[in-house]
Structure 1
Amino acid sequence: MSINRENVRVYIANILATLADKDRAIAEFILHNAGRFVQLPVKKLSQEIAVSEATIVRFCKKIGYGGLLNLKAELQRELLEESDLTLPSSPDIFVGDSRNDVAQKIAMTIETTVQDTIDLVDMKKLKTIVERFIAARRVMFVGFGASGLAAMEARDKMNRIGIDSEAFTDRFTMTLKLANLKPDDLVVAFSHSGETPEVVNAFKLAQKAGAFRLAITHRTVSPLNELADAFLLTCGESARYQGDSIGTRVSQLFMIEFLCTEVTRYNFRDTDSPGLSIKEILIKERIKRESTG
C-alpha cells in the first residue's frame, strides 16, 4: 500500500492512534525506549511492558515486520545511523520564546513533517500510482474542510500538467458528480483522519462504479482505507508537532507536489534531453498549448 517501514519510529508514531491498548503500549515503549527495546530479550520486554511475549511477537508481524528479530534489526540499524547526529531542540513553542525562536521552530516543524512524509513513502510502489494518473479518463479529487483546500490545490496543479481533473469539497456536489463515474476514472480522497463521512461516501460511490480509489491520509486503518485500492500516508501528528494543522497541510501539499512532479517525469521519460529540468519542460509545454490554443 505504498508505505515505507524503514524509518521504524516515524512509521510507528504515525500508526499509534490506530492501535489497540496492548499494541499501543508496545509501540509507546519503542518510541520512548528504542535502545532498551533492541537490547532486552522478549521475556524481559514482556515484564517491562506488562504484555505477553506472544503479544509482542504478534505486534511485530501485525505492523508489517517479519517478527521481533526483524523489527529489532531495523530499529538497531536506525539507531546506529543516528548515533553521531545531534538531536534537534524541541519544536514546542513557549510564551517566553523570542520571535526568532518562534519562526525557527515553525520552520523546524515544516522540515520535520516533510522528511517524515518522505520516509513513509514506498518509492518502489509509487510508479503504479503515477501510471493510474496517466491512464485515467478523469481524476476526481475530494476533500472536506481543510482537506478540501488540498483537493482544490491538487486539481489546479494536475490540470496545469495536462491531467483532466476536478475537485469536490461538499457532500451534495460529490454525490451528484460522482454518481456518473466510469471505471476508467480515478478518485483521490484527502482526509487526515480517514473518517470524514462525506469523503468515505465518495469512495463508496467510486467503488460502486468500479473506479480506482487512492486515499491520501494520516491513518493506516480507517473506513476510508478499507474502501481504497491504494493509499499514501501523510504526517502531522499533533502529539509530535507544534499543532496539527500546519503539519497536516504541509504534508498534503508536499504529496501533491511530489505526485505532480512524478507524473511530469513519467510523461517525459523518453525525452532526448534527460538533463532538461522539470521547470523548463513545463514552460515549453505551456508555450506550446498557448500557441495552439
Structure 2
Amino acid sequence: MKSVLVRLQEYEGKASGAEKGVVGFLLEHADEVPQLNIHELAEETYSSASTIIRLCRKLGFHGFRDFSKSLVYELALRKSSYDERSKEITKEDSLEELVDKVTYKNIVSLEDTRKLIDLEVLQRCVNLIAEAKTICLFGMGSSLLVAKDAYLKFLRINKPCIISEDWHAQYLQAKNMTREDLAIAISYSGMTEEVLRCVSAVKENGATVIAVTRFEENPLAIIADYNLSVAATEFTFRSGAMSSRIAQLNIIDILYTAYINRAYEENVMQFQRTHIEKPYVNEGAEPKEKTRKGRE
C-alpha cells in the first residue's frame, strides 16, 4: 500500500521552484485534489500538466491518474491527513504533553512506514536473506543499535550474520564480501559517510545491498539494490534518533518474522534449542546465597 501524503511531505524540502507550488497545494488541499483533473490542478497551482506528471513520477507513481487513485484510497483510511506539524515539541510543553507527543510521533512513524512498504520488494528481500551465505550488517550510531538487534535475531535461528561496532572492521567486512553474501545497510539519513563507503565496497564485490533508510532520494537509497523505506517523522530539532529508530526496528522485525515463516516448524525448533534458561526465585522463597569453597 502506497502512501501519498508521506511522500509529499518528505519531498517538499527538495522540490524545485515549479514543483513547490504543486506540492504545497496538494498538502494543503488534499481533500479537493481527487475532484480535479490534471489541467484544473495545473491552473490552480500556476504550473503545467507536464510539471505535475514529472512530480508524480518522482514520487513513484506512473502518472497523475495513478497518483490521484492512491490519494483517494489513502484519504479514506486517514481522514486526519496532514496534521503532524502541530505535534512538534516546544519548550513550553508540560511533562504530560511531552509523553503524548513522543508517543504520537512513534505511532505515526510506524503507521506511515507501514504505508511505504512495497510487498513485492519486501518478499524479494526475504528471499535474498534465505539465499545468502552470510548476512553482513552495516550501521553507525543509533542505526548500529538496530543492526545489532538484527544480528541477535538472526543468530538465534542460526543464520550466519556479521556485525562489528568498529567502523574499520565493518569496512574490512565489506571488502571481504562475495556475490553469495547479502548486505543490510541501515542509515536514517542515507548520508552516513562510513556506511556509504562500506556499501560502495560491497557493490564492488558484486554483493546485493538492502537499505533501511528514509524515504527520499539519498545516496544510500540510490546505490542500494533494494530499499525498505522509513517515514520521516522525527521532530524538527532531532536531538537524537527516536521515531526513526522505532520504525527501523519495526522493519527489521518484519523482515525477520517473514523469514521465519518460510520454514516455521524448523525455526520454532531452533528457538527451543537456543532458548537461554533464566534463573528465578520461587515466590515467597528466600534466594540461595552463593558461597565460595572454604567459606561458610
TM class by smaller structure: 0.7 to 0.9
The answer to whether the Cα contact below 8 Å between 2:234 and 2:242 also exists between their aligned partners in 1 is no
Deviation at 1:114, TM superposition (A): 0.7
1:286 counterpart residue number: 274
1:209 counterpart residue number: 205
The answer to whether the Cα contact below 8 Å between 1:182 and 1:209 also exists between their aligned partners in 2 is yes
1:275 counterpart residue number: none
Task: Work out whether 1:114 is the aligned partner of 2:102.
Answer: no
Moved more, 125-134 or 12-21: 12-21
| Residue in structure 1 matching 2:224, options 224, 228, 252 | 228
Structure 1: 5+ residue runs without aligned partners? 273-277, 289-293
Q: Which runs of 4+ in 1 moved over 6 A?
A: 239-244
CA-to-aligned-CA distance 1:49-93 (integer Å, 9 cap, x gap): 2322221122223323232222222212332344599x8994333
What code does the residue aligned with 1:22 have? Answer: A
The answer to whether the Cα contact below 8 Å between 1:188 and 1:214 also exists between their aligned partners in 2 is yes
The residue correspondences of 1:153-164 to structure 2 (distance < 5 A) are: 153-164=149-160
Task: Work out whether 1:36 is the aligned partner of 2:32.
Answer: yes
Over 3 Å counting, the alpha-carbon distance change for 1:101 and 1:79 in structure 2 is same
1:138 counterpart residue number: 134
Name the Cα RMSD after superposition. 2.9
Looking at structure 1, the residues matched to 134 and 275 of structure 2 have their Cα atoms a distance apart, in angstroms, of 23
TM-score normalized by the length of structure 2: 0.81
Identity %: 25
Work out the number of aligned pairs and report it. 275
The answer to whether the Cα contact below 8 Å between 2:88 and 2:236 also exists between their aligned partners in 1 is no
Over 3 Å counting, the alpha-carbon distance change for 1:237 and 1:287 in structure 2 is closer
CA-to-aligned-CA distance 1:128-160 (integer Å, 9 cap, x gap): 211111221111111122222222222122212
1:291 counterpart residue number: none
The answer to whether the Cα contact below 8 Å between 1:91 and 1:105 also exists between their aligned partners in 2 is yes
Task: Work out whether 1:248 is the aligned partner of 2:236.
Answer: no
Looking at structure 1, the residues matched to 193 and 275 of structure 2 have their Cα atoms a distance apart, in angstroms, of 42
Deviation at 1:184, TM superposition (A): 0.6
The answer to whether the Cα contact below 8 Å between 1:109 and 1:242 also exists between their aligned partners in 2 is no
Structure 2: 5+ residue runs without aligned partners? 277-296
Deviation at 1:118, TM superposition (A): 0.9
CA-to-aligned-CA distance 1:144-186 (integer Å, 9 cap, x gap): 2222222222212221222211113444222222211111111
The answer to whether the Cα contact below 8 Å between 1:142 and 1:169 also exists between their aligned partners in 2 is no
2:279 counterpart residue number: none
2:120 counterpart residue number: 124
The residue correspondences of 1:45-194 to structure 2 (distance < 5 A) are: 45-83=41-79, 90-194=86-190
The answer to whether the Cα contact below 8 Å between 1:141 and 1:151 also exists between their aligned partners in 2 is yes
Deviation at 1:18, TM superposition (A): 4.9
